[in-house]
Chain A
Amino acid sequence: MDDAERLFRTYHPMLVRYLTRRLGDRDWAEEVAQETFVRALRQDGLINERAWLFTVANNLVRDDARRDARRRARLELLREEMRDEVVEPEPLSLERAQDAALARRAVNALAERDRLALLMREEGLSYDEIAQALQLSVGSIGTTLARARRRLVEQYEALRESQRGSTGHAAS
């Protein structure tokens, strides 16, 4: 296993999940993730691979990634090989789709910095890595995450209550 393959196998699933959660679109997430790895292949001696990958992915989302067909094809091949190892989400039921829509709205209501910090933390990034990716001080990450978590939960519950209220009103 060469270094590129190791990098891909180690970080691709978490990066795609992070981007999917951020973007709300699996295809887009995979495109950005692939572009991220394409760029990683051009780099030598990454010191903090995970922080670097997430930083680049964030930038690509911001800048709308461009493509590199040749290397993308190779990564696509790797991804196909890994397909059996990657946990794929189950098909959506109506309830799950509604839950996902509520979660999406709640997450989108967060400030971008809070949202990204929370999503990266969920993928296991350390405070140092989050700070590096977001160009924040390490000391501010705890407060950022605390605020993000509280607002997310409050927003989500408020949306759920609102949905229940409107459903009940419609039923009556």
Chain B
Amino acid sequence: MQHLDEGTIHSWLDGALGAVQARDAELHVATCRECAERVAEARGLIAASSRILMALDHVPADVVPAAARQVAVAAAVPMPMVAAAAPRAETPARRSWWGHRYARVAAVIALVAAGTLVVARESGRDAAVPPVSQRAHVSDSMAVAGAPPAPAAVPNHPPVALGGAARRESSAPAAAAKSAAAPRRDTGAPPSAGSAGGSVGGSAFGTERAKTDAMSSALQASRANAPRALAVKASAESNQVVASPPPRLVATDTVQRGGTVVRRETYEVDNQHVVLEAQLPPGTPNEQARGVPAPAPAAPAAADSASMNANMSPVVIRVIRWRGTDGVDYTLSGPLSADALQRIRVALGKG
């Protein structure tokens, strides 16, 4: 069979191929490493584009707040965002507040005042209290000792395709993942860290911030040697620590995909964004947490890299999937290594 073209791969992952075509694609990908890599790359592109589009939900109209605490936040909106809005008729009821000149001035004052207060408090802090990053590092070490990462679980959970209705429309993407996973084993990629024992679980959402703080330990400790790790110099010269900030929740939204509600959370880690998607199929029983290794990313010299813009380096988005102890199917994707994603998974405490 001829190699699959990119359009066919995306159609397959989106569940848009007919049964016969889907089966042919599945059979081909199962035996063609090149196409398996392209399938993995396509999965990454689907996840990444979904993440980018999600950022579009945050638009100027929604930063017009009623509460005073939101004034400073509104003032932080950069002008390009406002300028990006296409011209249209104003809606006085919603625009009048922000449109008032004095409100803008007040917003700026509030922002400056808030910043000043933070600086003043920090400068007046007792020298015996370690910096935040130091304290986080210490607590992280303790948490890691208590919850060592488990080895990667067997990839027996049927993966689902990313984006749109692919999750529910076809079983073909599952085969794609199986096929795509094969090259990863061939290349001897290191096993990924699995779930962190019983230290995770609970409700899927609602306490992301608290969980992020509490679970940041494993992430920070494991990233101590990462190239992009943030070096934090302690107050004492001899007590230098290296830490990485915990995953920071920057966006959440919920999308309806057919009959399935998918909750998406975007986290920022080391200036990279990763997206956590969670869906709870109706009637799915809780199962033991199990990890699913990411499909192999396209090699740097992927066959189709020639089609990319010569001035742009290929973007490799990796995806991991698992079913949490709460029975929720999770997908975590981002431009990081599979191991890094697994560490973030542990840090997020999603089971």
Q: A residues engaging B (CB < 8 A)?
A: 13-14, 17, 20-21, 23-28, 31, 87-108, 118-119, 121-127, 140-150, 152-154, 156-158, 164
**A26 neighbours in B (Cβ, 8 Å):** 59-62
Encoded as 1 (CB less than 8 Å from any A CB) or 0, chain B from 36 to 52 comes to 00000010011011101
In the bound complex, do residue B257 and residue A89 qualify as a contact, i.e. CB atoms below 8 Å apart?
A: no
Is the Cβ of B58 less than 8 Å from the Cβ of A156?
no
Of the stretches B125-133, B146-154, B245-253, B279-287, the one at the interface is B245-253
B45 and A24 form a contact (CB under 8 A): no
* A108 to B14 alpha-carbon distance, docked (Å): 23
Binds A, one of B101-109, B211-219, B304-312: B304-312
Known contacts: A26-B62, A93-B250, A96-B250. The answer to whether A153 contacts B52 by CB under 8 A is yes
Residue from the list A96, A98, A108, A143 in contact with B251, Cβ < 8 A: A96
Interface residues on B, range: 35 or more
Residues of chain B whose beta carbon lies under 8 Å from any beta carbon of chain A: 5-11, 14, 16, 42, 45-46, 48-50, 52-53, 55-63, 65, 70, 73-74, 76-78, 80-81, 84-86, 88-89, 91, 94-95, 163-165, 169, 250-258, 268, 271, 273, 307-309, 311-313, 315, 317, 335
Selected contact of B85 from candidates A14, A24, A102, A154, CB within 8 Å: A24
User: B258 to chain A: which residues have CB within 8 Å?
Assistant: 124
Task: Please classify the interface of chain B as helix (H, G, I), strand (E, B), loop, or mixed, using the class held by over half of its residues.
Answer: mixed
Name A's interface SS: helix
Tell whether, in the assembled complex, residue A153 and residue B256 are in contact, meaning their CB atoms are under 8 Å apart: no
Task: Provide the residues of chain B in CB contact with A105, threshold 8 Å.
Answer: 84
Bound Cα distance A31, B56 (Å): 18
Q: In the complex, are the beta carbons of A27 and B61 less than 8 A apart?
A: yes
Is A104 a contact of B73 with CB atoms below 8 Å? no
Interchain nearest-CB distance for A102 vs B (Å): 7
Inside 8 A of A164's CB, which chain B residues have their CB? 271
Question: Which of A97, A124, A141 contacts B11 (CB under 8 A)?
Answer: A141
From B45, B59, B89, B94, A149 is in contact (CB under 8 Å) with B45
Chain A residues whose CB sits within 8 angstroms of the CB of B88 once the complex forms: 25, 27-28, 31
Q: Assess whether A149 is in contact with B62, with CB atoms less than 8 Å apart.
A: no
Of the candidates A20, A125, A143, the one whose C-beta lies within 8 Å of that of B59 is A20
